[in-house]
Every structure is written in structure tokens, then in C-alpha cells.
Homo-oligomer: A and B are copies of this chain.
């Protein structure tokens, strides 16, 4: 196998296994069976190596995404792309941090490609008459929100890496950039129960009703939370 490939592979494995998200060129050289200065001859400096690692790992993800994209429903493609983005971040946290966090001098090529891919999907959405704003701006909005959610899930483990938050933000953002779905008849009135339950819950939190025992208050709060979450769960 190529020296370059062996180095990138070793660096990738070390990076994925690294607890602090960093690697050392010496460690990479040892694992790849190569002396350290070879890395500097091939990649220039450590940033070059990391860029190559990102391009390698994210390139595979991009290839898979590019191969599966052409559905007849561009909005569904957009939703799937968002979810895959989030999943990739959770599965490769160190790699993802290198891509969507300031610090790396030269932004890897893959990030630009991902942006381009998203823009092409949004172009198709626009051609289907479903996009309310220009695709460039929409791409920036989607990327910002999606990477924000992904980084938040990585940074704060108390969110228990739930994907719910990701889909929730996704739907909010899509509702903000898409035109209303052309489904037949009357547009479905948003259910008022969750909002009413939510308002009452907030009021009760600020002024606990004295006519209720603590246990009653707790049970009532639980029920209101359930109602605020909507009819499905």
C-alpha cells in the first residue's frame, strides 16, 4: 500500500480513538511504520495531515451521499441529508470537530463539497417551487443550524445525544425556508392543546397553586408536560 494511504489510515484510526481529539505525528509515524519526517515531506505540516484525514473520512461519507441522492422528492432528500449529517457528527466526533470548528488553517476541501451538495439539493427544492428564499442563503441557514445542533450534542452530553433535538430543529428550520406544503384542502390548524398546556404549566411553575398538595402538583406538571409534547407519544 502507498505510504500516503498508510499514514492517512493510521492517523484516522488514532484520531477516532483519541480521547482529547488530537493526535501526534510521532504516533502516526509509528503506527504507519514510517519515520516522522516522511509525514512532513508528504503533507507539509500537521495541518496538512489533518486536512487529508478529514478529506478521506468525510469523502467516503460524501460519496455514499452523492450516490443515493436522486429521489423524486427533493424535500425528502433534504430531510435525509440533515439526519445523515447529524449521525455522521455523532459517529465521528473528532473528525467532525476538525471540520466545523474554527482552528484549522486551511478549511478542508470536503467542507466546501458538502456545502455544494447541499446547495444543489436546495436548487432542486427551489425548482419544485417549495423554497421560499434563495438557495444560497438557505444553504447557509441549514448548515449553520445543523452544525450547531450537532456540535451542541457533542459538547453537552447531558442532552444524552438525543436525535429528537436534531429533528425538532430540522422541522423548525424547514418550516422557515420552505413554502407551505401543497397538500389538498384546508391547511391543518396547528393543535392548540400543547400551547395551552404549556402556558398553564409555566404559570403554575411561577405561582404554585396552594389548593394542591405537592404530590398533586407534581402529577399535574407531568400531565401538562405530556400534553405539551403533542398527541403522538
Contact = CB atoms under 8 A, between A and B. Distances in A.
Interface stretch (A34-42, A64-72, A93-101): A93-101
Contacts of A193: 200, 203-204, 207, 209
Interface string A74-87: 00000000000000
B200 A135 contact: no
Q: How large is the interface on A (under 10, 10 to 19, 20 to 34, 35 or more residues)?
A: 35 or more
Contacts of A132: 194-195, 198
Given A102-B154, A131-B199, A134-B201, A172 B176 contact: yes
B152 A149 contact: no
A179 B189 CA distance: 13
Interface in A87-145: 93, 97, 100-103, 107, 123, 126-127, 129, 131-135, 137, 140-141, 143-145
A214 interface: no
A10 to B, nearest CB: 22
5 shortest interchain CB distances as A-B pairs: A148-B148, A172-B176, A126-B202, A196-B200, A144-B152
Interface of A: 20-21, 93, 97, 100-103, 107, 123, 126-127, 129, 131-135, 137, 140-141, 143-149, 151-152, 154-156, 159, 165, 168-169, 171-173, 175-177, 179, 191-207, 209-212, 216, 220, 223, 225-229, 231, 233
Given A93-B102, A140-B152, A211-B231, 13 more contacts: A21-B103, A100-B151, A101-B151, A129-B199, A131-B195, A132-B194, A134-B198, A140-B165, A148-B149, A169-B173, A176-B176, A193-B203, A200-B227
